[in-house]
Amino acid sequence: MIYMKKKLLNISRKKLHKKFRHHLVSVLMDCDILVIGAGILGLSSAYHLKKDNPRKRVVVVDRSGGPGQGNSAKSEGAFRNVFTSETNFLLADSTIDWFHCLQNSLGYDLKLAEIGYLWLFSQEQYDRMTRVLDIISGRGAALKTFEKDELKRFIPDLTTDFRDDEESRLLGLEPVDKGVLGIKCGSIDADALVRSYEHLFLELGGEVKYGTEVKKLKITPERELGIPGEPFVWQNCHVSGARTNRGEVNAETRS
Ligand SMILES: Cc1cc2nc3c(=O)[nH]c(=O)nc-3n(C[C@H](O)[C@H](O)[C@H](O)COP(=O)(O)OP(=O)(O)OC[C@H]3O[C@@H](n4cnc5c(N)ncnc54)[C@H](O)[C@@H]3O)c2cc1C
């Protein structure tokens, strides 16, 4: 009797698997918050999410073998706080303060160098920009203006006058009459920044899974009906996790 039951069970399991093999996926893990991508945006978001939600299980997955192997690895790491939009200014300016805090107070060597960021203008371009530059410096971004002779003294190899030929016209090159230097601008080692975020995140108990490629996002209807084929186009849906090369990662979608 027991043997028969086992056999039946085996057959039905096999049949079930054949019928529903596309629906059977192994679960890699359940978490509260899933972050896809361990670049600078993924790891910094994960760190802040974990910091704000210490009890939540925050997991970062990335298809690469380590942190910051995408565009973050290619970045020059140049930063500036000179922007026309106030939002960009506030975001960039506070981020630069954070770089200083990371390096000077928390001990992460970001190779931070405030070398400035130089814009070159013709007199005409500069005159058009004056109002904007006033707004930018009025918000608190430190700027220093250089005259042509000062620029030539500081950067002897700088070309300030272009021949009036086809190439110059095509490139829209105008003579350089003024320079505007953003003071609170410079560069960091982008890889060091990425790794500092990873370290801070792990210290808080965050988890990272490398070699984990997301193949598809898991879409779940707001109200599951239990009908095969869900979600249907008319159902309100949310992202509830991801299907990866190593199995499914389920994430919470509401706090
Ligand atoms: C040549 C170059 C120079 C740059 N210079 C500067 C600069 O000087 N200053 C500046 O501020 N910005 C610069 N940038 C821009 C800056 O590098 C990017 O804005 C920044 O790195 C974007 O970070 P990210 O985390 O969004 O992307 P990424 O660093 O690309 O991270 C995305 C991550 O997602 C992972 N991923 C993608 N798909 C999947 C998947 N399906 N499953 C799992 N993981 C996946 C990737 O492996 C990657 O690690 C530069 C960019 C380039 C290309």
pLDDT digits (tens, 9 = 90+) for 21-43: 445 568 888 999 999 999 999 99
Distance of alpha carbon 96 from its chain centroid, rounded?
16
Residue ranges around ligand 1 (CB below 6 Å)? 36-42, 61-64, 68-72, 74-79, 213-214
Higher pLDDT, 19 or 170: 170
Which atom of ligand 1 is the closest one to the Cα of 242?
42
- Contact call for residues 235 and 223 (beta carbons, < 8 A): yes
Instruction: Say what percent of the chain tops pLDDT 70.
Output: 89
Cβ density class 160-179: b for 16+ within 10 Å, e for less: eeeeeeeeeeeeebebbbbb
Higher pLDDT, 36 or 166: 36
Residue ID of nearest Cα to ligand 1 atom 44 = 62
Domain ranges of the chain: 26-76+189-255, 78-187
Question: What does the pLDDT look like over 126-135, one tens digit per residue?
Answer: 999 999 999 9
Tell me the average pLDDT of the chain: 90
* Of the options 3.50.50.60, 1.10.260.40, 3.40.50.720, 3.40.50.1220, the CATH number for the domain spanning 26-76+189-255: 3.50.50.60
The pLDDT score that the predictor gives to residue 1 is 41
Question: Is the pLDDT assigned to residue 2 strictly greater than 50?
Answer: no
The pLDDT score that the predictor gives to residue 3 is 47
